[in-house]
Structure 1
């Protein structure tokens, strides 16, 4: 069935705030093209298990992959070495004190095997607007007064949709992610949306679940 979806015609969004059924996404998870990055459309997307991901010279692409990479907060995996880092006091954590700087660092940090960034200028403006509404949040990691890591995402109140994280020094982004998971577990959040599989996220306890299960968690 997944192979059949590869030949589905792409849905081009208009100015109307709508998305096609997520089941019409192709086998890679691509659902729709176009539209805009207004706070209203972004919120509608996240509420329905959809997120934007595209390059600077591309049209806006909207995705809803199946399976979906998630972390159940109570399943966060903390290695022995990270337990030592957490106890060492070498890092401190703040929230929403420098959202724009975290966003810029995530956009510019060099990543193995990746050229350029998907955090385009339009994406930066969009998530800054979303931050101003209180929906987009950042977690910042500091070492001796210097910002050395962090992450940002969209907070739906029961699901946190992670967007990107960065480390300028070893373990800084892990420090932020672990604290995020522990905080969300204490607040009875259902899940952290990690979107797509990476070995790094898997090492922290994230797992792939069927898309329809993820949508149930969103509802």
Structure 2
């Protein structure tokens, strides 16, 4: 995002990294979902933001401050409404990949950072984001899903798991259908373990194929107030790695 763009949209500053998101009035705030900025980003700050339905999204390389978002509408996938495209369903019957969870979190983030995307110059996954989310992974809050082919990382995805909500952050693909098939297997395991919502944050064609849809920010925050306090009913990693 260009500096002039975020400055024009900015509703307010959130000050330092010790800001309490629980005290911030999200409802009715921010144009296009941009709420404000901080001068730093830490694992604790990111975790507290997710608890309020807020996430960081900024371009470190362009000198942006840490921008915080809660879009309206919000793009979400009710996990039990997952739509699996026929091509992926067929592919999974004979997949050449081996799938794991939390085996290569930093590598998955680096793969997402390096992935070229249409209409996007550069990446929003800079060194600060990598360090913060790797720290969250070490605490069991952020998770990665990997697809391997002959010992090579062929694709994957990562996100933040809190309660019964998985906040999908990014995915990357090196070999055909690697991240798509990994996502479908993960979503199926997530449902089996009592997962309720996959938060995609903003619209993407890719997630629309799986049934994700826009809901109002008010509806999203109402749902999250219950789901974030919930618990999964099984071992997600074990269920995922045993699913095909």
Which TM bucket (shorter chain)?
over 0.9
How much has 1:8 moved relative to structure 2? 7.5
Write the distance in 2 (CA, Å) between the matches of 1:154 and 1:213: 20
Q: Which residue of 1 aligns with 2:97?
A: 91
How much has 1:78 moved relative to structure 2? 1.1
CA RMSD between the two structures: 1.6
Return the TM-score normalized by structure 2: 0.83
How much has 1:28 moved relative to structure 2? 0.8
Does 2:15 align with 1:13?
Answer: yes
Q: Which residue of 1 aligns with 2:43?
A: 39
C-alpha spacing 1:209/1:9, structure 2 compared with 1 (3 Å):
closer
Superposition misfits of 4+ residues, deviation over 6 angstroms:
none
Write the distance in 2 (CA, Å) between the matches of 1:7 and 1:36: 19
Does 2:128 align with 1:122?
Answer: yes
Does 2:53 align with 1:49?
Answer: yes
> 1:12 aligns to what SS in structure 2?
strand
Write the distance in 2 (CA, Å) between the matches of 1:120 and 1:97: 21
Write the distance in 1 (CA, Å) between the matches of 2:71 and 2:39: 19
Unpaired runs of at least 5, structure 2: 1-7, 226-244
Q: Which residue of 2 aligns with 1:3?
A: none
C-alpha spacing 1:15/1:174, structure 2 compared with 1 (3 Å):
closer
Contact 1:12–1:34, Cα closer than 8 Å, also in 2? yes
Give 1:1-219 correspondences, 5 Å limit. 9-19=11-21, 20-56=24-60, 57-219=63-225
Unpaired runs of at least 5, structure 1: 1-5
Comparing 106-115 with 116-125, greater Cα deviation is found at 106-115
